Amino acid sequence: MIHKMEYKDRDTIISCYLPEGSAPDKNAVEELHQMTALEQTLERLTEIPGFFRRDLGRIEKIILTPDFHKGAGIPIGTVMKTKGFVVPQAMGNDINCGMRFYTTDLSEGKILEKLPELTKKLRHIFFEGGRQIPMTGRQRQALFRYGLEGLLETNQDSKKIGLWQYYQPGIQEKWLNRTVFRGSIKTDDTEGLEDFIGSYGQLTYDDQIGTIGGGNHFLEVQRVAEIYDNQTANAWKIKKGAVAVMIHAGSLTIGHHSGLLNQKICQEIYPTGLPRPDNRIYPIPMNGQMPQAEKRFWSSSGNAANFGFVNRLFLGFMIQEVFTNVTGECELDLLYDAPHNYIWKRQDAGETCYIHRKGACCAGGCEDMEGTEFACFGEPVMIPGSMGSSSYLLRGLGNPDSLWSASHGAGRKKSRGDAIWGNDEAFRQFMEQFHVITPIDPARMDLKGRRDILKKWEESIRAEAPYAYKEIDEVVKVHTIHQMAALVARLEPIFTVKA
């Protein structure tokens, strides 16, 4: 039986959505228990004048999505609702790690026919310095402060060099409405990013924009295998047998910089003489008592989130460049781009609350999407499976019990270290059936004798192999039974690009 388990940890109500026959990961539960010690920190801080009011400064609820598993300090798949404060760690350091989904006019047959050539060019543009994304300091400052809208205002600086040839202002303006926050979080500052921004009027290159990142990040070309909701699929231009592109990437070192800065802000405002929390999890009050800390936090987080949106945009241009050069002119049309690591400010029952998502998709319903082209169906929800398995496209149902949230993937059942020692036969079969493009080409003649390099390459693939993850079908089933999101389509991989 698939079930939802609800319990209290200290004074916090926790709802856990579980796949059939599974129990919560013990290590993740222990990590969650350490996190809820935040309640003790809040109690101490209510005694400090000007920090919290007793009625504002509380955890309202926590839900655990079906892909819940251990993270680093706060588990992946944790969604927390608070009032009166935010917790930077509850969105993690890869701020605005998220998903981007394109429909295309390509056929699977054409891709398979050109797969060797595609592989070569994909490896070049993604891993061998083949991308060309020059920007001026003015553009970088604009993207950090205003996101995709800032890029729209300054795109002419690029002079259509390199991947900028695919940037069409009219299309980009339309796509803003298919991106959470319009991909544009307005910020007051770019604290600590001056060196990265560079010379105001000079076109220069950096090593960050257009990078997938490590771990479970990827770009995957997929085939629509099944349609479950014809009406929604038609509206979203999802056709059975068609080719789609799914991108999972984040804010890279910019997110890490912002995460560290947010931690610094937390520690700077923490009252002198008060015992520091053992779990090292700190809140920032959102009650107007510390306006400078609030402003710095939202600017820092917004800088990283804006960068994440722009990074995924250019990853899309990179796959478009390869397809155009190998298969001819093609159309990539954005369906949606959404973060799964961020903090949303929301009005609920007339009160302001903060929805923290760490490894969880937003899954708003029709009412939440009012004023957008998704108002009739709900918010697109993209849930990828493990490498080589199915991925799913759903529509959000705006369920407040699940804090308007859904899973962001299958969720690990083995740590990366344990997965390296997975079943050899299962790994061999997986590699025979699946096409993955990585920085290392194991077929290169000059690598035949390099066991050290090939061993490291194999371990990186094993760490993300299907047996390291939960069954995606069971994870998705929980969403439909508990009305977190409704099925639209299932997709199967054609190939995956992975660092």
Would you say residue 20 lies in a domain? Answer: yes
Would you say residue 438 lies in a domain? Answer: no
Would you say residue 374 lies in a domain? Answer: yes
Would you say residue 439 lies in a domain? Answer: no
Contact predicate 150/173, CB 8 Å: no
CATH number of the CATH domain containing 491: 3.90.1860.10
Q: Output the pLDDT for position 416.
A: 67
Name the residue with higher pLDDT: 9 or 206: 206
Would you say residue 327 lies in a domain? Answer: yes
What average pLDDT does range 477-499 have in this prediction? 96
Residues of the domain holding 103: 3-413+469-497
Which tens digits make up the pLDDT trace of 401-440? 999 999 999 877 777 677 777 667 777 777 777 899 998 8
Which tens digits make up the pLDDT trace of 58-99? 899 999 999 999 998 999 999 999 999 999 999 999 999 999
Would you say residue 436 lies in a domain? Answer: no
What average pLDDT does range 343-359 have in this prediction? 95
Residue 248 tokens, joined: 């999972």
Q: How many domains does the chain have?
A: 1
What average pLDDT does range 22-48 have in this prediction? 91
pTM: 0.95
Q: Output the pLDDT for position 467.
A: 72
pLDDT above 60: residue 1: no
Would you say residue 418 lies in a domain? Answer: no
Tell me the three state secondary structure of residue 441.
coil
pLDDT above 70: residue 476: yes
Residue 5 half-sphere exposure toward CB, CA atoms < 13 A: 17
Q: Output the pLDDT for position 55.
A: 67
Would you say residue 425 lies in a domain? Answer: no
- Cβ atoms within 10 Å, residue 110: 16
HEC per residue, 231-280 = HHHHHCCCCCCCEEEEEEECCHHHHHHHHHHHHHHHHHHCCCCCCCCCCC
